[in-house]
Amino acid sequence: MGTEMKQVFPFEDRTLTLRDGRRVRVRRGGVGDAVAFREYIFRVSPTSDQIGLYQNEVGPIEDYERQMRRADPVTGGLSLLAECEDVPGVIIADCCLNTFPRRKLGGVLILGILCDEAWRGVGLGRALLEASLVWARANPAVRRVELGVLETNPGAIALYESLGFVAEGRARARFLQEDGSLVDDLSMALDVGSAGG
């Protein structure tokens, strides 16, 4: 199993037309995108209570190099980055399938997805998720995709369920929101293959 995850499984870049007619380029990201990725997280964090940090907690570039490395093709993960066709180099959404650094969790990927506020509600999130799951199902080294979602995000929960994810657990009062409220974190998972089984 350990050697299978070292193989680079392909992803073909593509251009998508969203429901509102805007066009975006979706491509595989990597460690070289850490600067742009950090700028994106800094820009998006104030407009999303679904992200696990506040804007003043956005770390140095090295943090994002490490994060991008977990989704790097060499480790068996996938980082999809979306850019507006008219403004290349500015990330507007991402969907990452990150690997675990433990052999016993080989074939299990953690999904994270985020979208700039101006690009929400036009089908971009679904398109990124669908592309990621097509890739995961076709990759013989992947057996399971897991994610966490706040219970206060029914739209995301419905989207994940429509793609086959099943709720498996709940971490009560896990996230402290800016208004002082505590929100449960739901664990969801999707079995996509039999790697390592």
User: pTM value?
Assistant: 0.88
State the pLDDT at residue 179.
87
- According to DSSP, the residues that pair with 192 across neighbouring strands are none
Taking only the tens place, the pLDDT of each residue in 154-179 is 999 999 999 999 999 999 999 888 88
173: left (phi over 0), alpha (psi -120 to 50) or beta: left
Task: Kindly report the CATH number that applies to the domain delimited by 4-191.
Answer: 3.40.630.30
State the pLDDT at residue 8.
63
Reported as a pLDDT band with limits 50, 70 and 90, residue 47 is confident
CA-based nearest residue to 27, from 4, 11, 7: 11
